[in-house]
Amino acid sequence: MDAPAFLNPSPTKPPLNVRLATPRGFCAGVDRAIQIVERAIERFGAPVYVRHEIVHNKHVVERLKALGAVFVRELDECPDDRPVVFSAHGVPKAVPAAARKREMLFLDATCPLVSKVHVEAERHHAAGRRILLIGHAGHPEVIGTMGQLPDGAITLIETVEDALAFAPDDDRPLAYVTQTTLSLDDTAEIVRVLKQRFPDLPDPHKEDICYATTNRQEAVKQLADGSDLVLVVGSPNSSNSVRLVEVARRAGATQAKLVDDASQVDWRWFDGVRTVGITAGASAPEPLIQALIAAIQERFDVTLSDDPGQRETVTFKLPRALTA
């Protein structure tokens, strides 16, 4: 015979405040890039080839694979008779040139804000300037930007130490551009050092670090203030997601962790935690955030709130080949 219910009370869930950053997750460039792959599969059928990960999120990549996308590292892995999409991070000029030579159908999903940096670099080069690119070596966006110009036209500056050590080997005027997904604070420090050394160094006409990176970093600073733990949803190869973790720690979060999804949460992180902040990198889809919230709600009595923040209304057009 079962014992009376009052002798076996349900364990009470501990209370927990969960704050959601605004904005978080997908930006306009990521949304456009994913749509390009989806529309290409709809229009041309599977398979559609994609050079490199379309965006840096494993869940997005796996979903597109299931629809019929084939991800490759280089163009020579693609057949001539199937469409190929170039990732949101941009590609060196040699890549579309090779695709044209092979008479391939290619769709460029480069984020328009990355393309703006490419145009800016080309403008500086045409004006006879040596270009400094502030960014991270090996990142696809950096490879793409450096690949817009001849070898030696761009010098990569990764750190303040690089900025201090850089020594021009001629008297050409200098200019700088930046990767779009950098830490605002780190980049500002590098630029400050460069301008101390080279006072005539001009600023870009418009900030190179994109609006989405800026907005998410400002939001996570607000989130970190008063949060014992900040969880950033994003993949470890996502530059903007990794930067959000760094920014949260600097802004005062006791803990800040990067997780691809709820399965990566170590619930010991929550010991002694009263308030958790949640955000997501620009390539992380909202369903991952909602699944993380659901997993937390299974274990805690959650009070959920949205932080105030910048509302984003930016959209980018799809290539004409997919809309005509």
Per-residue pLDDT reduced to its tens digit, 101-140:
999 999 999 999 999 999 999 999 999 999 999 999 999 9
For residue 54, CA distances in Å to 9, 58, 64, 82, 249 come to 50, 10, 9, 17, 29
Torsion of CA 179, 218, 19, 287, to 10 degrees: -30
For residue 19, list its beta bridge partners: 277, 305
The β-bridge relationship of strands 275-280 and 229-233 is parallel
Contact 110, 91 (CB under 8 A): yes
Instruction: Examine the domain organization and report whether 255 and 193 are in the same domain.
Output: no
Instruction: Calculate the average pLDDT of the chain.
Output: 95
Instruction: Examine the domain organization and report whether 107 and 123 are in the same domain.
Output: no
pTM score, two decimals? Answer: 0.93
Instruction: Examine the domain organization and report whether 19 and 80 are in the same domain.
Output: no
Question: Is residue 324 in some structural domain?
Answer: no
**Tokens at residue 269, please?**
């992180």
Residue 2 pLDDT > 60, yes or no? no
pLDDT band of 6, cuts 50, 70, 90: very low
Q: What's the pLDDT at 208?
A: 85
What CATH number has the domain bearing residue 70? 3.40.50.11270
Helix/strand/coil for 94: helix
Domain containing 277 equals 15-26+211-306
Question: Is residue 63 in some structural domain?
Answer: yes
Structural domain total, the chain: 3
Exposed, middle or buried by CB within 10 Å (0-12, 13-18, 19+), for 14?
exposed
Mark which of 111, 130, 155 sits at the end of a domain.
Answer: 111
For residue 218, CA distances in Å to 180, 192, 225, 296 come to 15, 20, 11, 25
pLDDT band of 243, cuts 50, 70, 90: very high
Instruction: Examine the domain organization and report whether 155 and 185 are in the same domain.
Output: yes
Strands (E), the chain: 15-20, 48-51, 69-72, 84-86, 106-108, 130-134, 154-157, 174-178, 229-233, 255-259, 275-280, 301-306
Distance between first and last Cα of the chain: 71
Residue 226 pLDDT > 70, yes or no? yes
Instruction: Examine the domain organization and report whether 181 and 219 are in the same domain.
Output: no
Helix/strand/coil for 311: coil
Mark which of 81, 111, 141 sits at the end of a domain.
Answer: 111
Instruction: Examine the domain organization and report whether 190 and 224 are in the same domain.
Output: no
Question: Is residue 318 in some structural domain?
Answer: no
Question: Is residue 203 in some structural domain?
Answer: no
pLDDT band of 209, cuts 50, 70, 90: confident
For residue 314, list its beta bridge partners: none
For residue 79, CA distances in Å to 53, 61, 72, 76, 83 come to 18, 20, 11, 8, 9
**Tokens at residue 324, please?**
């005509």
Instruction: Examine the domain organization and report whether 147 and 221 are in the same domain.
Output: no
Question: Is residue 92 in some structural domain?
Answer: yes
Q: Nearest 5°: CA angle at 58, between 57 and 61?
A: 90
CA distance linking residue 41 with residue 111, whole number of Å: 20
pLDDT tens for 32-88 read 999 999 999 999 999 999 999 999 999 999 999 999 999 999 999 999 999 999 999
Question: Is residue 219 in some structural domain?
Answer: yes
Instruction: Examine the domain organization and report whether 107 and 140 are in the same domain.
Output: no
Instruction: Examine the domain organization and report whether 94 and 140 are in the same domain.
Output: no
Question: Is residue 298 in some structural domain?
Answer: yes
Residue 262 pLDDT > 90, yes or no? yes
Helix/strand/coil for 312: coil
Question: Is residue 312 in some structural domain?
Answer: no
Exposed, middle or buried by CB within 10 Å (0-12, 13-18, 19+), for 269?
middle
Instruction: Examine the domain organization and report whether 121 and 84 are in the same domain.
Output: no
53 is catalytic: no
For residue 306, list its beta bridge partners: 20
Catalytic residue among 38, 53, 120, 141: 141
Q: Nearest 5°: CA angle at 106, between 101 and 112?
A: 120
Q: Nearest 5°: CA angle at 314, between 157 and 248?
A: 50
What CATH number has the domain bearing residue 290? 3.40.1010.20
